[in-house]
């Protein structure tokens, strides 16, 4: 089961890089799938028991510069369609950075 992730105090104060933070989230449990073409690094967790998420849920994490973006979607039965929608949202956010 995926453990809840809490931001360390040194991250909140700027002491840890966001790429390291992304690595910590990926190592927190479950199976993060790499997502190509977004920011410097991107990955997602889907709604499976091993990831500790309910079905029809995805969480997309994107790192760009000093920004760490989290996008969660639920209620879509088609995981690929949900991922494409999350990627479009991420692209809009990244364009504002």
Q: What is the pLDDT of residues 32-68, one digit of tens each?
A: 888 999 988 898 988 877 777 788 888 898 988 878 8
Cα–Cα–Cα angle for 62, 25, 86, rounded to 5 degrees:
35
pTM of the entire predicted model: 0.77
CA 81 vs. chain centroid, Å, equals 16
At 66 the three-state DSSP class reads coil
Q: What is the pLDDT of residues 82-93, one digit of tens each?
A: 999 999 999 999
Q: Where are the domains of the chain?
A: 9-95
- Are the C-beta atoms of residues 54 and 73 closer than 8 Å to each other? no
């Amino acid at each position: 089961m995926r453990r809840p992730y809490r931001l360390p105090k040194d991250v909140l104060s700027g002491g840890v890089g966001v790429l390291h933070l992304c690595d910590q989230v990926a190592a927190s449990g479950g199976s993060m799938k790499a997502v190509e073409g977004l920011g410097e690094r991107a990955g997602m967790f889907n709604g499976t028991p091993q990831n500790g998420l309910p079905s029809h849920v995805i969480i997309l994490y994107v790192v760009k510069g000093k920004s760490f973006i989290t996008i969660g979607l639920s209620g879509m039965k088609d995981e690929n369609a949900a991922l494409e929608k999350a990627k479009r949202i991420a692209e809009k956010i990244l364009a504002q950075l």
